[in-house]
């Protein structure tokens, strides 16, 4: 099992909603954070399939942070978001993804 139940999780639903959004007013930082957490989980699992699991929990957390950050920066650039919401989304997404990593039992 992955970090999130991909098809049925709140994060998966948020991901679909963010990807299909056309206007920034529709996007809250909570929604973007959930979508970023989902995207980070997918990217992390793909990374692990290709490269194996990271050597340490700290390295896994670094990867999760990088994956969430990349997604949020992309959404901010393409959909628009103010600085404060961007920072909140970064913080919340990192926490969500790290919590999922902790709950996965991998480390």
For the ranges 7-11, 46-50, 60-64, which has the lowest average pLDDT? 7-11
58 alpha-carbon distance from chain centroid: 17
**Which of 98, 76, 97 lies closest to 86, judged by CA?**
76
Q: What pTM was estimated for this model as a whole?
A: 0.67
Q: Which two tokens stand for residue 98?
A: 């790290």
- Contact between 76 and 86 under an 8 Å Cβ cutoff? The reply is yes
Q: pLDDT (tens digit, 9 = 90+) per residue, 14-55?
A: 788 777 776 555 678 888 888 888 888 889 999 999 999 998
């Amino acid at each position: 099992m992955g970090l999130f139940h991909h098809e049925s999780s709140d994060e998966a639903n948020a991901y679909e909603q963010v990807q299909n959004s056309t206007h920034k007013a529709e996007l809250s930082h909570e929604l973007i954070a959930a979508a970023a957490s989902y995207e980070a989980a997918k990217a992390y699992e793909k990374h692990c399939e290709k490269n194996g699991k990271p050597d340490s929990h700290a390295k896994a957390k670094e990867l999760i942070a990088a994956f969430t950050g990349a997604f949020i920066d992309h959404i901010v650039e393409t959909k628009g978001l103010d600085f404060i919401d961007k920072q909140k989304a970064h913080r919340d997404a990192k926490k969500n993804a790290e919590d999922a990593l902790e709950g996965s039992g991998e480390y």
